[in-house]
A and B are shown apart, each in its own frame.
Chain A
Amino acid sequence: MSYISDSKTPPVRDSRLKIGIGFGGSVGDLLRASGKGRLLACDRSFCQVSACQLHLTLQMVMTMPDSVTIVHGASGCGAQIHTQDFPIRSGSAARGVKRGELIWMSTNLGERDVISGGEGKLREAILLVDREYRPRVIFVASSCAPNIIGDDIDEVADTLRGEVAADIIPLHCPGFKTRVVATAYDAVYHGLARNLELAPRPHEDFAPPNGLSRDIDEDKREYARRKARTVNLINASSIGAPDERELTELLRAIGLNVRVYTEYVAADDFRFLTEAGLNVSMCAVHDDYLLEHIKEKHGTPYIISSMPLGIAETREWLLNIAARTGDMERAEAVADAREAELRRGLAPFLPQIKGLRVLLSGGVIRVAAAALALKELGCQVVAVRPYHYDDLSDPIYERLERECPGLSVNVAPNQAFELVNIIKREKPDVVLSHGGSGVWATKAGAVSVPLMSPNQNYFAYTGMYELARRLARATQNDALQRRVGENARLPFKTGWYGRDPYSYIEQDRAFE
């Protein structure tokens, strides 16, 4: 069944998939617990601040040019946007997308609204935005408070559709609804797919066969050929323009026409989303919800296979696509040539990074893919810390188990206290970290290198080269980290570092 067609609100991943947010142990045990569907039972009796789906939702949709976002909630929901203005402006510029200032509104719910409902205010906000800014699209993202009190944002949108010029896209993303931030991908795709046209308009976007053509069948064959040679790459805010370019070039090299969706894409360009022979996800955690829907409604097949990071994963990613489009020979030639070139480029860095002990902390697919890439570089992976775990990740974790048997995995949405404990225990040389956790690596005296950054290359061959170079540079002079580490005051009592880092995870339920 398609949730997108049938249901106003998207499901949460907590029920749609087998997920987990707490685990500490070997990768093998993780897979067994996940297989039993018991991971979510491993809750923490103590937890630190995590993140919510509203955050990622806003990060994604605000990339759409000519859109204005209304956050329906108390005025603090959306305060994160202040850190997004710059990344979105630079992300737009890097993709050649014209993007003005980020405009957003808050319905600023107060006590009275919480008692008597905030729908009236939302209505007023939509009318105001439409009148003042005339955007192509108005996103309405609803946070915790309106969802607890039962505001119906779809109803408000429906009653206004005839009155406003913009397309209104409701987004259901209250933080309390889900334990995993990745649910935001579903919340966003649910809103986009239900409210935007995903197929071209006849006469406006293309000339339908009118019987006057010399050879309608030949036209149709030509159309099918063109469509079959077109591939959509599905991006996300963790994937930067340099990575999109790298993958686009790889696919062009085997003769495919490439387009990138869904971020930084104008609303009207979504009408061509379905004009492709194949959809390819760049990260297995993102896109199944949307791609399954498109397959069901429009027949476009898709590939979701981990992430093209590292030599082996990149080759597999490329060959997977080539197998579908019939370009195997060319793909193998391209991979051979690029690999040879990469190995020459890597040579000067390898002596310095060989044997580095590395800890990885971040997105579930990315930490696993990066761990495999590091192994290819001769590093020793100490542990990986995915933000969450779900069964979409099984294939790459199975591979991780084969390549690094017994590797320890700590499933944790942030939970920096576990991270610091592990760093103190394992003393890694380098921590490859997402977001703020680098701070804790530094305070604990370890060198930290970003696991991802939208301005740099991580994917495929250029990414692998950059990763090696970055590791070499970071370890060449660790003065800052060393000295900060020496001068840091850690916030936990010494007793904590002597205890099992997973003391607060109720893991005995994993194998019941």
Chain B
Amino acid sequence: MKSCIVEQPRTACAIGGFYTALAIPGIVPVLHCGPGCVSQSAALLASANGAQNAHPFNEHIIPCTDFGEADVVFGGGERLRKNIENVARSYKADMILAINGCSAEIVGDDNEEVARGFSGGDIPVLAVEAAGFRGNNLYGHSQVLKAILNHVEPTGKAVGGQVNVWGVAPFYDTFWAGTLEKIGEALTEAGLAPNIIYGRNGGLDKVKAVPSAEFNLLLGPWVDLDIVRLLKERFGTPYFHYPAIPVGPTETARFLRELGEFAGLDRNRVETRAKEGEERYYHYIRRSLLWVYRCRALPKRYYINSGASTALSLHRYLVNDMGLIPCKIFLPEDVPEEHQERVEGYFRDVELDSPYDVVFTGDGGLAAQEIAASGRPKWSLFYFGSVWDEPLSNNERIPFLSVSAPQGNVMAMDKTYFGYDGALRLYSDYYEQVASKGLRTS
């Protein structure tokens, strides 16, 4: 259910799903929406979110009908068709998505019919509905993926060890690129053959290979659950659902063990990897302990205001490895009602029995209001959020990390908090914040 009125939304609208298409090299989205819709989504999902920029089809060259008054009156289907034709002619495109936004949906422009007109051509053209009033960018993400995957033909046989990776929403998850690269490396190390459709090494060949996977790996609490179910239905591929992108030694080892069990991996190999990772992780932690203990007043409790996937990964690490205590966790991404109970259960599944609320909302402003009014001494808190949470943390001098869209003045590059090494980044980001807020006294 959509929240009624929301302050400073942390999600873009459905049209922002075009970023999922841009994350798969070779796909060009052709938008049938207002002239400013791209710049609206681009701010939240990319430029103000880790200084991201799509490549090679960057935001400024996305073909768009720039839906105008005449289209409202007469319909804009013909202009959409012409745009697609010219993309096929001039763009290095392997697949085209014709995406409908609000205006086109309200006036009833039929992008499916336009797409059908191109069937049998050299380049597949698929229709996607992504009206902003139907949902946020995660709805758009799902719409885009479904259209693409429904187009994929079964390959007939499974390739040994191949595993498709799902659950990471490109661009919206600021660290998606680095995270997926590292997940790929971890799976390869475990003896599997990862197939990741997004990013530097992704592409349509990876999309076409999706049906030949031995299983699908879903990393995350709810996003893409519909996708792995769809793949099970269409191709009979089983899926392994691990609810959090693992961060830190406890979660990463747990993930590797459960994955090993599911995929029948060599147990010794899994244990050796976990041991190595742990050894390296604690080596660096030990080297910085003195510095940490000189932070005399260490915050112990935290608030998170972020997307569910990020929040869950952080939460499990903060509780299980860093020994912190949650105050309250806000998930301002309109998690669909059908998933809420399950998602909350994932948050409770940590090695700490302590009462705290998990709040499902679309309103990004709730967290700041509550923290400001909480009456807790601000130095005793740590606050994870997005750029909109920063003013409060600056005014009140609450140690703060921007971890969720829109992250603000952050350059993501290949950064990730995934696994053992990622946890070291998070650990150091955390204490650098504590120090820069003046809590480290000698």
**Interface on A for B, CB 8 Å cutoff?**
45-55, 73-83, 85-86, 100-101, 103-111, 113-114, 121, 124-125, 128, 143-145, 148-149, 174-179, 413-414, 416-417, 436-437, 439-440, 488-493, 495-496, 504
Assuming the A-B contacts A45-B82, A177-B69, are A79 and B5 also in contact, with contact meaning beta carbons closer than 8 angstroms in the complex?
A: no
Is residue B245 contacting chain A, with contact meaning CB distance below 8 A? no
**Chain B residues with CB below 8 A from A144, complex form:** 34, 67, 102-103
B69, A76: Cβ atoms under 8 Å?
Answer: no
A49, B60: Cβ atoms under 8 Å?
Answer: yes
B43, A49: Cβ atoms under 8 Å?
Answer: no
Assuming the A-B contacts A79-B41, A82-B48, A128-B5, are A413 and B60 also in contact, with contact meaning beta carbons closer than 8 angstroms in the complex?
A: no
Contact with B61, one of A45, A48, A52, A86 (Cβ below 8 angstroms):
A48
Contact with A436, one of B59, B133, B408 (Cβ below 8 angstroms):
B59
A105, B82: Cβ atoms under 8 Å?
Answer: no
The complex places the Cα of A47 from the Cα of B83 at a distance, in Å, of: 7
A-B contact count (CB 8 A): 228
B64, A49: Cβ atoms under 8 Å?
Answer: yes
**Chain A residues with CB below 8 A from B362, complex form:** 75, 108
Report the minimal beta-carbon distance from A182 to chain B, rounded to whole angstroms.
Answer: 13
Contact with B64, one of A50, A125, A496 (Cβ below 8 angstroms):
A50
B58, A439: Cβ atoms under 8 Å?
Answer: yes
A50, B35: Cβ atoms under 8 Å?
Answer: yes
Q: Could you list 22 examples of A-B contacts with CB < 8 Å?
A: A46-B83, A47-B63, A48-B64, A73-B132, A76-B9, A76-B15, A79-B13, A79-B16, A82-B408, A100-B391, A103-B365, A105-B6, A105-B8, A106-B9, A144-B34, A144-B67, A144-B103, A175-B34, A175-B35, A176-B34, A176-B71, A493-B90
Find the residue from A76, A83, A413 having the highest chain B CB count within 10 A: A76
**Chain B residues with CB below 8 A from A82, complex form:** 43-44, 48-49, 387-388, 406, 408
Report the minimal beta-carbon distance from B115 to chain A, rounded to whole angstroms.
Answer: 17
**Chain A residues with CB below 8 A from B425, complex form:** none
A496, B90: Cβ atoms under 8 Å?
Answer: yes
Assuming the A-B contacts A46-B83, A79-B44, A124-B5, are A51 and B69 also in contact, with contact meaning beta carbons closer than 8 angstroms in the complex?
A: no
Return the CB mask of B170-188 against A: 1 if under 8 Å, else 0: 0000000000000000000
12 additional contacts, CB 8 Å, given A79-B44, A110-B133, A492-B91?
A48-B60, A49-B62, A79-B45, A82-B44, A105-B8, A108-B4, A108-B6, A110-B2, A175-B67, A491-B57, A492-B92, A493-B91
Is residue B322 contacting chain A, with contact meaning CB distance below 8 A? no
The complex places the Cα of A406 from the Cα of B230 at a distance, in Å, of: 60
Report the minimal beta-carbon distance from A104 to chain B, rounded to whole angstroms.
Answer: 6
The complex places the Cα of A489 from the Cα of B61 at a distance, in Å, of: 14
B82, A145: Cβ atoms under 8 Å?
Answer: no
Q: How large is the interface on B (under 10, 10 to 19, 20 to 34, 35 or more residues)?
A: 35 or more
**Chain A residues with CB below 8 A from B370, complex form:** none
The complex places the Cα of A52 from the Cα of B68 at a distance, in Å, of: 10
Report the minimal beta-carbon distance from A117 to chain B, rounded to whole angstroms.
Answer: 12
The complex places the Cα of A79 from the Cα of B6 at a distance, in Å, of: 12
Report the minimal beta-carbon distance from B46 to chain A, rounded to whole angstroms.
Answer: 10
Is residue B11 contacting chain A, with contact meaning CB distance below 8 A? yes
Contact with A491, one of B41, B43, B56, B72 (Cβ below 8 angstroms):
B56
Contact with A104, one of B7, B35, B58, B408 (Cβ below 8 angstroms):
B7
Chain B, Cβ-Cβ closest to A420:
B61
B106, A76: Cβ atoms under 8 Å?
Answer: no
Assuming the A-B contacts A52-B35, A75-B132, A86-B409, are A106 and B86 also in contact, with contact meaning beta carbons closer than 8 angstroms in the complex?
A: no
Return the CB mask of B60-86 against A: 1 if under 8 Å, else 0: 111111111101100000000011001
Assuming the A-B contacts A76-B13, A145-B103, A148-B72, are A51 and B35 also in contact, with contact meaning beta carbons closer than 8 angstroms in the complex?
A: yes
The complex places the Cα of A109 from the Cα of B133 at a distance, in Å, of: 6
Find the residue from A74, A490, A496 having the highest chain B CB count within 10 A: A74
Is residue B111 contacting chain A, with contact meaning CB distance below 8 A? no
B35, A76: Cβ atoms under 8 Å?
Answer: no
**Chain B residues with CB below 8 A from A50, complex form:** 35-36, 64, 66
A121, B5: Cβ atoms under 8 Å?
Answer: yes
Is residue B380 contacting chain A, with contact meaning CB distance below 8 A? no
Chain B, Cβ-Cβ closest to A68:
B7
**Chain B residues with CB below 8 A from A128, complex form:** 5
Contact with B60, one of A440, A488, A489, A504 (Cβ below 8 angstroms):
A440
Residues 1-32 of B contacting A (Cβ, < 8 Å):
2-9, 11-16, 31
Report the minimal beta-carbon distance from B50 to chain A, rounded to whole angstroms.
Answer: 12
Chain A, Cβ-Cβ closest to B2:
A110
Is residue B40 contacting chain A, with contact meaning CB distance below 8 A? yes
B7, A83: Cβ atoms under 8 Å?
Answer: no
The complex places the Cα of A48 from the Cα of B6 at a distance, in Å, of: 31
A85, B387: Cβ atoms under 8 Å?
Answer: yes
Contact with B103, one of A86, A148, A440, A496 (Cβ below 8 angstroms):
A148
